[in-house]
Structure 1
Amino acid sequence: MRPAAETRFGRVFDIEEYDDATTVHVGDLELSFAETQHSELCFAARVTDGRASLVYSGDAGLTGGLVEHCKDADLVLLEATYTRDLPAHEAPRHLSARDAGELAQRAGADRLVLCHLGSDDADNVERLRIAAARFGGVTDIATENATFVL
């Protein structure tokens, strides 16, 4: 964490670092993490209550480790930074809509929600179409105040 952020957040929160071997318990919830492929240190988080699970990818490239972390999740919240194929310089560190759909399908997830989208509604509808076609399951776009029951 950058020093300024650590100082600012440290006044309000107890800050603890984690890695992909860390498991955190918050009430009845268990959080586990998987390091993702990105230009900065970044982790995907899996949250479960033992009955249902949600995985949030954060910024991530498509890797076997991320697929494994998402395995059998009830809901995967995956970035879809690009509508079409990624530019070569972005491929290792972000997902396209097709990548998100493929990841959800390979992981056996029940539901896919796309995030990290642009502001162009037409592009986002296209992202939804592409991801849903590749995934083959229920696919949504993350919107403000959206609620998903697991």
Structure 2
Amino acid sequence: MRLTPLGCLAGMPAAGLASSGYLVQHGDTLVLLDAGPGVAARLSAERTSPLTAVFISHEHTDHLFDLLAIGKTVLAERLRRDDEHGPLRLDEGIPPVPLYVPRGAAARLRQLAEIYPVTTHPLLDRAFDLGFACHEYEPGESFRIGDLDASTALMQHVAPDCGIRLEADGESLVYTGDTGVTDAIAELANGAGTLLAESTLRETDRSGHGHLSSLDAARAARDAGVADLVLTHFSSPDPAEHRWHRDRAAMVFDGPVATVRPGIAHPVSSSRKVLA
């Protein structure tokens, strides 16, 4: 399994870096985790095969705003003309891409697609029912994505956020989405190979909004017994800030610690013995 970050910033893009978005590939299975601003362009550069599915951790713009652009791209790949001037029609041989979103999100996404209609080609406005096949998941739900087993758990954030665990052939990746300090991280990541954890703050969040510092992420990685820790969702595009978080995390977690670099693939580690 391989993780390729497409973006790494909390909030909006800056200094050429996109917001949250991560490609996970295992064999022919290609999953996009979150789709913040700037991710659609990065995805178009990195993707060499069709998406198997998209998973959205929660409904904040820095994690889903590019879904409309990605959905329209997927839909365009399904559309054909019988001749140069004929009407657009669906190619039924190309299926829509499964889109896993929190409960209630599908209707809001369809409203987003309706804001700027393409009146001459109305099929192009149907990204969220013809480009994507929406599935509203519940916290704690498990499902199969291609050849990956996926399981979710509710984290601690101002908007309901679910982390996700992806597993196949003895390898496993856990992605936190956005969360404050919670035992749910270590429970979901128990014995996992790679923990992809947000590292937004320099100090522990006391506001209740729900974000991690690098020390918080490292403690969760240590408690879960994961093989390695990868930090993301930084509040600054400055590489020196990212290195600061990495060095802080390494004070607590004794396994390998890395920071994401968009476009640079990171191998997902093998699962470890589940802790009691």
Q: Same fold by TM (over 0.5)?
A: yes
Q: Deviations over 1:32-68 (max 9, x none)?
A: 0001100001100100014110000000112112210
Structure 2, unmatched stretches of 5+, are 1-104, 114-126, 269-276
Q: 8 Å contact 2:151–2:164 — kept in the other structure?
A: yes
Query: TM (normalized to structure 1)?
Result: 0.91
1:97, distance to aligned residue in structure 2 (A): 0.6
1:69 and 2:188 correspond: yes
Q: 8 Å contact 1:20–1:32 — kept in the other structure?
A: no
Give the aligned residue type for 2:244: E
Q: Which residue of 2 aligns with 1:124?
A: 242
Question: CA separation in 2, counterparts of 1:4 and 1:36?
Answer: 22
Deviating more after overlay: 98-107 vs 62-71? 62-71
Question: Match for 1:41 among 150, 160, 165?
Answer: 160
Query: TM (normalized to structure 2)?
Result: 0.51
Q: Deviations over 1:88-124 (max 9, x none)?
A: 215x611001001111011000010000012122221
Would you say how many aligned residue pairs link Structure 1 and Structure 2? 148
1:28, distance to aligned residue in structure 2 (A): 1.5
Q: Which residue of 2 aligns with 1:5?
A: 109
Q: 8 Å contact 2:172–2:193 — kept in the other structure?
A: yes
The percent identity for this pair of structures is 29
Give the aligned residue type for 2:231: L
Determine helix, strand or coil for the equivalent of 1:68.
helix
Q: Specify the structure having the higher radius of gyration (Cα).
A: 2
1:89 and 2:207 correspond: yes
Q: Which residue of 2 aligns with 1:24?
A: 143
The two structures, once aligned, show a CA RMSD in angstroms of 1.6
Deviating more after overlay: 95-104 vs 13-22? 13-22
Question: CA separation in 1, counterparts of 2:264 and 2:218?
Answer: 20
Question: CA separation in 2, counterparts of 1:25 and 1:2?
Answer: 20
Structure 1, unmatched stretches of 5+, are none
